[in-house]
Amino acid sequence: MDLSESVDAENSDLLQPLRLQWYYVSEEYGFVLPEPLEDLPPYYQPWMEIAKNVTELIDSHSLRACVQKMPLLETHLLQGHRELRLAHLTLSVMTMGYVWQEGENDTVKVLPRTLAVPYWAVSQKLGLPPILTHADAVLANWKKKDPQGVFSMENLELLFTLPGGKSVHGFFMVTLLVELAAVPGIRAIPEVINGVNQGDVTMVTRALESISLAIDCMREALKLMHVYVEPAVFYGIMRIYLSGWKDNASMEDGLVYEDVQVEPMEFSGGSAAQSSLLHCFDELLGVKHEASSGAFLTRMRSHYMPPAHAHFIQDISLSRPSLRDFVLDRASEPLTSAYEHCVAKLVALRNYHINMVSRFITVPASRAKELRLRGEGSGEERSTIAQAPTALEERGTGGSGIMSFLKTVRDRTRGVSVSPSTHPLGAEVAQSNAMAGPAQKATTEASLLSKVTSKLFL
Ligand code: HEM
Mean pLDDT, residues 177-191 taken together: 98
- H or E stretch covering 157: strand 156-158
Average pLDDT of the chain is 89
Q: Given the DSSP bridges, would you call strands 110-111 and 256-257 parallel, antiparallel or unpaired?
A: parallel
Q: What is the mean pLDDT of residues 162-184?
A: 98
Q: What is the pLDDT of residue 106?
A: 93
Chain-centroid distance of CA 38 in Å reads 21
Q: Is the pLDDT score of 321 beyond 70? A: yes
Amino acid residing at 130: P
The pLDDT of residue 431 is: 47
Per-domain boundaries in the chain: 20-373+387-417
pLDDT at 394: 58
The answer, yes or no, to whether residue 406 has pLDDT greater than 70, is: yes
311 is in an annotated binding site: no
Do 407 and 324 meet the contact criterion of CB atoms below 8 Å apart?
A: no
Pocket test for ligand 1, best of 31, 171, 233, 271 (most atoms within 8 A of CB): 271
Instruction: Tell me which residue has its CA closest to atom 7 in ligand 1.
Output: 357
Phi/psi of residue 274, nearest 5 degrees: -90, 0
C-alpha closest to that of 187 among 23, 32, 3, 28 = 28
In this structure, the residues whose C-beta lies within 6 A of any atom of ligand 1 are 175, 178, 222, 225, 229, 234, 271-273, 275, 278, 350, 353, 356-357, 360-361, 396-398, 400, 402, 405-406, 409
Give the model confidence (pLDDT) of 218-277 as tens digits.
999 999 999 999 999 999 999 999 999 999 999 999 999 999 999 999 999 999 999 999
- The architecture that CATH gives domain 20-373+387-417 is Up-down Bundle (1.20)
What is the pLDDT at residue 17? 83
Q: Residue range 419-439: average pLDDT?
A: 45
- 364 pLDDT band (50/70/90 cuts)? very high
The alpha carbon of 322 and the centre of ligand 1 are apart by a number of angstroms equal to 27
Identify the H or E element spanning 156. strand 156-158
pLDDT > 90 in the chain, percent: 79
Closest CA to 129 of 137, 117, 139, 119: 119
ipTM entry: 0.97
Q: What percent of the chain has pLDDT over 70?
A: 86
User: DSSP string covering 3-71, please?
Assistant: TTSPPPTTTT-TTSPP-GGGGT-BTTTBTSPSS------GGGHHHHHHHHTHHHHHHTT-HHHHHHHS-
Beta bridge partners of 143: 157
| Residue to mutate, 183, 234, 353, ligand 1, most ligand atoms under 8 Å from C-beta | 353
Q: Of the candidates 72, 164, 111, which has an alpha carbon nearest to the alpha carbon of residue 384?
A: 164
- Residue 147 pLDDT grade (very low, low, confident, very high; cuts 50, 70, 90): very high
More confident residue, 359 or 382: 359
pLDDT for the residue numbered 396: 53
